[in-house]
Amino acid sequence: MSWPEMTALHAAATLAEIIFLGPLTSEIQAWIGSSALTARVCNGNIFGGGFQRLSGWSNE
C-alpha cells in the first residue's frame, strides 16, 4: 500500500505475525501469496470472541 500512513507505520514498526481467527479463504491465501508479506501467518479457524452456541444444545 502506498498510503502515507502505511509508509509511516513501516518506518516505525515491523509486522512479525498475522493471526487469522476465522476461515483462511482462497482469496486471502492468493493475496498473501502475491504480496511482499514477510510476517509469519498463523491460522486455524479458532474462536476469538463473542459467544459460541454449543453444538447439539437446545434451550427447549
Per-residue pLDDT of the chain (60 residues; tens, 9 = 90+): 688 998 898 899 988 998 888 788 899 899 999 998 889 998 877 666 777 677 766 665
pTM for the model stands at 0.52
Closest CA to 19 of 34, 49, 2, 39: 39
Helix extents (H) in 1-60: 4-12, 26-34
CA gap 16, 20 in Å, rounded: 14
